[in-house]
Structure 1
């Protein structure tokens, strides 16, 4: 199973994602509350997959994706967005994200997205 980095400014969302992913058999190698911390943790933890919130303080998700992909072109990133952020989802895909899931999270959809980016 995959080593996953969870990035979301809301602790509750990180906790929900952690629960879904661990129940799905994955390992959470780290968490970050903004894009700046996500870039640092991605470098040090080398996760198989990163889940990335779009709207965060300090540095938003799309900017973080650009930095991560520049440093690691093979990085696998799944964007997490609220309803009504389709515009940002398109920007995220253009920045290098492979997949996206809409909040509120549905565990089945999250696990399907993880397997999809892993090529499973």
Structure 2
């Protein structure tokens, strides 16, 4: 039986209010706290700098600054913040670009609770391995 990770501080960035709402409810059901929500990449960076969350869920397609650019900036400025990219288009190119930008995981919309929780656990494992290495 796997140990479930609880109590992480998380930022959500997606330009779709319904997506943010669904993800926020899912995260709260699993014991996590959503510190803030952004509708574009620039606001996501601002919230991450302000709150220094454990993790950020960042949508790829957003106005003003896309998720790839936001992820690169967050990873450069705040290397301890894990990033999980989210998208309705799970193309190989999107996944590869997300990983190249510094994302630790990728979750497809509409959300599946098990996949979201697994992505969080995998992201945390990567962070622990990075600290040890």
TM-score, length of structure 1 as denominator length? 0.95
**Using the alignment, how far apart are the partners of 2:56 and 2:92 within structure 1?**
20
Give 3-state SS (helix, strand or coil) of 1:70's partner: helix
Post-superposition offset of 1:84: 4.3
Contact 2:26/2:113 (8 A) holds in 1: yes
For the 8 Å contact 1:6–1:52, the answer to whether it is kept is: yes
1:5/1:31 contact within 8 Å kept: yes
Which stretches of structure 1, 4 residues or longer, exceed 3 Å deviation after superposition?
none
1:35 matched residue in structure 2? 41
Query: Does the aligned pair in 1 maintain the 2:42–2:70 contact within 8 Å?
Result: yes
Q: 1:115 aligns with which of 117, 121, 130?
A: 121
CA contact (8 A) 1:81 1:89 kept: no
Q: Give deviations 1:30-78, integer Å, cap 9, x for gaps.
A: 1110100001000001110000000011110000011111111222000
Summarize the alignment of residues 1-120 of structure 1 with structure 2, pairs less than 5 Å apart.
1-119=7-125
Within 2, Cα distance between the matches of 1:90 and 1:3?
Answer: 26
Compute the displacement of 1:117 (Å).
Answer: 1.1
Q: Number of paired residues?
A: 120
RMSD: 1.3
Which structure has the higher relative contact order (CA within 8 Å, separation 6+)? 1
TM-score by length of 2: 0.86
* Cα separation, 1, equivalents of 2:91 and 2:14: 15
For the pair shown, which has the larger CA radius of gyration, 1 or 2? 2
